[in-house]
Amino acid sequence: MNYLDRNAIGAARLGGLEEDLGLKGNEFQTAVSVLFVGYVLMQVPSNMLLNKIGKPASYLTACMIGWGVLCASTGAVHSFGALTAVRFLLGFVEATFYPGAMATLSAWYVRKELGVRTAIFYSGSLISGAFSGLIAAGIIDGMNGVGGLLAWRWIFILEGSATVVIAFCCYWILPEFPATTKWLTEEERAIALWRMEVDAAGEQDWTAGDQQSLFHAFKLLLQDPKNWILIVVCYGAASAIAINSFFPTIVKSMGKDRITTLLLTAPPYLLACVVCAVVAWNADRVQERFWHTSLSIACALAGFIISASTTGIGPRYFGAMIMLPGI
């Protein structure tokens, strides 16, 4: 739902958003991009706050309700300024989820167990990419004009409302951190914490959580060169992932009608879901990351080049089919 709400604007564009709001020039691209301004500002403070609270189920559920309401509210905007403001706030609140979920996974699983679990978690975003087009196609085809609202408004209203409903269910499903989870016995809690300590004991820069303040941990993060390298890698990957918001428009450039365009967005994401699981499983199996990551990025790069260098429907769609799984 996090990715579905974030990328709904791409499908909404095909549902008449741009024409209805009278967007001109680069205003649509600005509305898409401003989400990431809020996202960048909130990611680190959010996880610092989460570690302070120590209860991811409660925290992430509250944030999920917040971004669901904001997504639904996007269906009520009537100007570029209002759209931009809601998108900024949406990014600010949505920024809590991905790092918060990764922090929760990292609190329960050691490094050699994280690859497949992370892939399963991330496959949620790929599934949303596959079905967002199908959902949008149904809304555009069946709800345009219902209640006096254009289809693009219904896309935001329905998807945002669904997020709020699911959020209440998630509270009872998501675990807290091992130290704060009530359904563990004292022995089980001790084992869960011991596993994390053993996994980190080989690291020279490791310090037990109860022996450092929150800001001391942040200082160590800034001093670790590995984090800066990963920031650069993530920056490049995030730039490529931004294609999610424009993917329906890219597929439409192949000359298909609006409904067919939305249906054609599904296969690349479904393939990406399978590739993600297989690559992560094999990376965990052989305990190797570099080549698995590098070869995937190389495939994505090839897909971008193919899609950008031809106007043929077949080659361009083939480029999309290897681009998204590679990312």
Q: What residues contact 39, with CB distance under 8 A and at least 6 apart? A: 91, 92, 94, 95
pLDDT in tens, 165-182: 999 888 888 888 888 888
Show the tokens assigned to 280.
């992560």
Backbone φ and ψ of 169, nearest 5°: -70, -35
Q: What angle do CA 102, 107, 113 make, to 5 degrees?
A: 80
CB atoms within 10 A of CB 65: 19
CA–CA gap between residue 319 and residue 317 (Å, rounded): 5
CA–CA gap between residue 135 and residue 156 (Å, rounded): 11
Mean pLDDT calculated for residue range 229-246: 72
Per-residue pLDDT band for 23 (boundaries 50, 70, 90) equals confident
Mean pLDDT calculated for residue range 61-87: 92
Residue-wise DSSP of 262-317: HHHTHHHHHHHHHHHHHHHHHHHHHT--HHHHHHHHHHHHHHHHHHHH---HHHHH
Say if residues 281 and 115 touch (Cβ distance below 8 Å): yes
What kind of architecture, by CATH, is found in domain 2-326? Up-down Bundle (1.20)
pLDDT score, position 73: 93
Length of the chain: 327
Number of Cα atoms under 13 Å in the Cβ half of residue 91 = 18
Helices then strands (H, E): number in the chain?
17, 0
Res. 163: pLDDT tops 60: yes
pLDDT in tens, 186-216: 888 888 888 888 877 655 555 555 555 667 7
Show the tokens assigned to 219.
């200082």
Mean pLDDT calculated for residue range 28-52: 87
Backbone φ and ψ of 126, nearest 5°: -70, -40
Q: What percent of the chain has pLDDT over 70?
A: 92
Where does residue 222 rank: exposed (0-12), middle (13-18), buried (19+ CB within 10 A)?
A: exposed
Show the tokens assigned to 249.
């428009």
* Domains of the chain, residue spans: 2-326
